[in-house]
Every structure is written in C-alpha cells, then in structure tokens.
Amino acid sequence: MTSAENRCSFCGKPAVARLTGPERRLCAAHFIEDAEARVFAAMKDECMVAPGDRVAVGLSGGKDSTALLLLLHPILPTLGATLVAVTVDEGIAGYREETLKAAEALTAELGVEHVIVTFADLFGKDLDRLLVGREAQGCTVCGVLRRRALAEGVKRVGATKLATGHNLDDEAQSVLMNVLRGDLPRLRQDTSTGQPGHFVPRIKPLAVLSEKEIVTYLLLRGYFRDLPECPYAGTALRSEVRTMLAGLEHRHPGTMLRIIRFRDGVRRSARSVEPVKALSTCRRCGELTSGEVCQVCRLLGQGG
Amino acid sequence: MQIILPDRSVRTLSRASAPIEEILLELGINPTTVIVIMNGRIVPEDVTATEGDELRIVRFSHGG
Ligand SMILES: [Zn+2]
Ligand SMILES: [Zn+2]
C-alpha cells in the first residue's frame, strides 16, 4: 500500500493505524475516538463503575496508567463517579524518581487528587533495601508488596474501586503464564468482585487495548515519554511468554483477544462447578491469605 | 531511505521501495512490538516506504 492509499476508513485523512475485527484504517482523531469508545464500551458491558463510586487509579506514572488516567478523567463524572490517583513509591533508585515526577505533573495538569504511599512508610524499608541479597527475586517481591501498598492507599483515600492500567498484552501473558505453571486456581481468580473488608473490586478498563494501541494513543495525544526502565528486569517466564505472544499476535492477529475470551470461558464454566477455595486471615496482619501467614508478612520476615 | 533504530542508531537502506513490515522483519523486529513514524507521522506497517523516506522505530515492549 502506498502512502497515498493509506487513508482513514471514515474521513479519508492519512491513517495512523490499521486495526482488525472489523478491518479499518484510522486517522489520528478517529484512532483516539475508537480507542476511547472501546474502553467505555467495556466499562459499560462489565458494569465497572456505578454512580457514587470513588475510583482510585493506580498511577505508576508509566505509559499504561498515564493512558488510564487520561481516559477516565473525562468519563467518570458523566457516570456519577469521582477519581483519585494513588501512586506507590517503592523506592527504586534511578527509576522511580522520574516516573513519580511524571505522575505528579499529570495529576497537577488534570487537577486530580493524588496520594502517594511509600514502601518505607508501610514496610519500614524501601524496595532496594528489602531486596539486598535477593535482587533476582525483585519483581516477585515487589509485586506482592506493591499489591498490598496499593490496597492500603485505596483504604486511605476511601475509594470504592481500584482501576489498574493492565493492558491486553499483560492480561494475555498472565493467562499463558498461569497455564504454563499449571496454576488453575490463579487462572480462575477473578479480582473484579473484591472482598468486603479487605479488597475493593478491581477494574481493568484498558484490558481491551493492546500495548501498541496504548502507546499509539499516548503518542497521538502528546503524552508519550521515554521513561527509564525498572532495573528489576521482570520474571524470566514473563519475558519468554511476551516474546512468544508477540510472534503469535503478528502471525495470527487476534490471538491475545482469543486468549482472554478463553480465560473468561474457563472462569464462567468453573464457577458453576466448584467453589473457589476459602481464604483465611493472616495471623500477623489480618489480611486475606490462603495459609496462616500472608505472603507480605513472610517476605518481610515476620512470619515466624 | 533512512532508518532510525530504537537505540537511536541510524541505518541507510539502499532500496527503491519496500513495505515497512518487510523492513522490520529483516531487521529482526516484530511489528507488534514497535510503532513506526514515517517522515514524522505514525503509519501502519503495510505502507510501503520509498527512497528518501525517513523511518523512526519506537520500541515500547520491554515490560514493566
Ligand atoms: Zn479519520
Ligand atoms: Zn500478613
């Protein structure tokens, strides 16, 4: 296709993207409209937000949560809901400073209330110090603690829902990782309902957009920044799965969406067969756990 | 045509024309992991680049 033939299916302006299902080419303005419409449709279909909700956006300052805040900011008032941003500062030198600054600049620009919770405050030490001697487990440790920190932030701001920036790629990768680990309970675990007294319902409005679509959206709206990468490089399995899925998505477009549909099907059919294993409360901190002491307390070495 | 790679290094390709997707695959880049900006404008990868075009490849998929 020549540059001259590459035209928006709706208005004939130069197209920035070609999307499938249904097949369409979109100019900058129509791409933004299309992406926003898909997110809002998903929010409606899945009843993610109700009137009176106070929605906390987990804002890391990275690309996904930036896009999430930009998208939710104009729409929540029309749904009768309010917005507050919560940032977790893990204390990762050379990485968090810049993303934190980006997060603060964005909430200031949009006029969104913003609360920052730090690992140092919650757990007594920042991540870098918690990880001394076990740096290789960085992402696993951080993931557990960040989830807790975010839940704590949500409590502090009195939010009724937690919105996170997980995109289609993240979600499809997680499904495959759970399959590869043989972890059916984790595959079935649905965090969208929450646990009264422990977790508010968690919503993922961006799960209908691929990482590529999110970056395109940010570039077109002038919010894409080349931020530093986290020094804790992620788990080995996730990076293998990411590469594999990217290859499959390229050769077989729609693969990621089909994986999500498969997961949803598994959840629906499993729900009616067998109840999810009951959770008890941690005898140290009182949060939900499948054992006697929760993962957070075990990681912090208070498990004994 | 000139290609600015994600690491900001510049490669010159001496071809009259080629679909962007083909160029990416030759460079070992999966098109779903990058966005291509041709002469300052984002374009789908099925567009053909011709002599004199400048392609900037923005990589975003490194996790996190
Ligand atoms: Zn258009
Ligand atoms: Zn505990």
* pLDDT tens digits, one per residue of A263-279: 999 988 876 666 666 77
pLDDT of residue A272: 64
Q: Per-residue pLDDT tens for A98-150?
A: 899 999 999 999 999 999 999 999 998 888 888 888 877 778 888 888 999 99
Residue A303's pLDDT band, with cuts at 50, 70 and 90, is very low
- Please indicate whether residue A259 or residue A238 has the higher confidence score (pLDDT): A259
Please say whether the beta carbons of A223 and A68 come within 8 A: no
Confidence (pTM): 0.91
Q: What is the pLDDT of residues A28-77, one digit of tens each?
A: 999 999 999 999 999 999 999 999 999 999 999 999 999 999 999 999 99
Identify any residues that bridge with A7 across adjacent strands, giving them in sequence order.
A14
* Sheet arrangement for strand B2-4: B10-12, B2-4, B54-59, B34-38, B41-43
Confirm or reject contact between A248 and chain B (CB < 8 A). Answer: no
The DSSP letter of residue A15 is P
pLDDT given at position B64: 37
pLDDT of residue B42: 97
- Contacts of residue A159, defined as CB under 8 A and 6 or more positions apart, other chains included, come to A54, A55, A56, A84, A86, A200
CATH class of the domain whose range is A46-273? alpha beta
Give me ligand 1 centre to Cα B41, in Å: 14
How many residues would you count in chain B? Answer: 64
> Is residue B30 within 8 angstroms of chain A, CB to CB?
yes
Whether residue A304 is predicted with pLDDT greater than 50 in this model: the reply is no
Which domains are seen in chain B, by residue range?
2-59 (3.10.20.30)
Dist. CA B30–CA B32, nearest whole Å: 6
* pLDDT tier at A227, thresholds 50, 70, 90: confident
> Which residue in B35, B51, B55 has the most chain A C-beta atoms within 10 A of its own C-beta, making it the best mutation to test that interface?
B35
Cβ of B58 within 8 Å of Cβ of A219? The answer is yes
The domain ranges of chain A are 46-273, 276-304
Tell me if chain B has a CB within 8 Å of the CB of A17: yes
Confidence band, pLDDT 50/70/90 cuts, at residue A233: low
ipTM for the complex shown: 0.94
pLDDT attached to residue A164:
95
Least confident of A21-30, B6-15, B33-42: B6-15
Mean pLDDT of the region A163-168: 96
Q: How far apart are CA A45 and CA A138, in angstroms?
A: 36
Residue A141's pLDDT is what?
83
